[in-house]
Chain A
Amino acid sequence: QKEVEQDPGPLSVPEGAIVSLNCTYSNSAFQYFMWYRQYSRKGPELLMYTYSSGNKEDGRFTAQVDKSSKYISLFIRDSQPSDSATYLCAMSGLVNTDKLIFGTGTRLQVFP
């Protein structure tokens, strides 16, 4: 079993839809949870990070962490074609040198 599981998709939605992206994990030592967006042939861009459980909102994006279920989510409201990309969840422990453990990424396609 992988430490982090993420549905690779692809996920295809119409413009304006609410998108839900999810990851599950097995390592209870993870404390920081991040979502990255990666366009083709580009480096990942940090969208949001959350410490421990709870919700965090930034514009059209909401990140949720449920440590009891070892489940994290990213919601995108009013999705736009420009949101079409691969979304990677990532998580790490508390130590500064801790590696980020990535999910495989979910490809999202938002069509007009």
Chain B
Amino acid sequence: GAVVSQHPSWVICKSGTSVKIECRSLDFQATTMFWYRQFPKQSLMLMATSNEGSKATYEQGVEKDKFLINHASLTLSTLTVTSAHPEDSSFYICSARTGPEQYFGPGTRLTVT
């Protein structure tokens, strides 16, 4: 299957700082990428849909000024958590779609202290 990478796999940051997470499709081009958040023992919560070269579409309740998404190329999307707070601590997962299939990255665990 297709491979999606995420970097970093885990990050600890101080409250008030910003953190950038990268998502790359390694062996295919993805016109659409998605960003999810997952809390322990819960299912995936879609945060936003990202299309290459255009603004991301955010789900209801997701602050677009806090979670900045950039989809600069067909293989790269980034999520920046701005002015992070402890409640932003979570597992963030990206996915990339090729045709009907959607492949997920390994996830990034963010801890805000």
Contacts and interface: CB of A to CB of B under 8 A. Distances in A.
Instruction: Tell me whether chain B's interface is mostly helix, strand or loop, or mixed.
Output: strand
Contact of A96 (B6, B44, B97, B104): B97
Interface residues of A, number: 22
Contacts of A99: 34, 46, 49
Interface stretch (A13-21, A64-72, A74-82, A101-109): A101-109
A43 B43 contact: no
Interface in A37-58: 41-46, 49, 51
Contacts of B109: 41
B38 to A, nearest CB: 9
13 contacts: A32-B100, A41-B91, A41-B109, A43-B6, A43-B93, A43-B104, A44-B104, A96-B32, A97-B32, A99-B46, A100-B34, A102-B44, A103-B43
A45 B49 contact: no
Given A43-B93, A46-B102, A105 B43 contact: yes
Contacts, number: 55
B70 interface: no
Interface in B47-100: 49, 51, 91, 93, 95, 97, 99-100
A46 B44 contact: no
Which among A34, A36, A97 has the greatest number of chain B C-beta atoms within 10 A? A97
Contacts of B99: 96
B81 to A, nearest CB: 18
A49 B97 CA distance: 13
A88 to B, nearest CB: 7
Given A88-B43, A104-B43, A97 B49 contact: yes
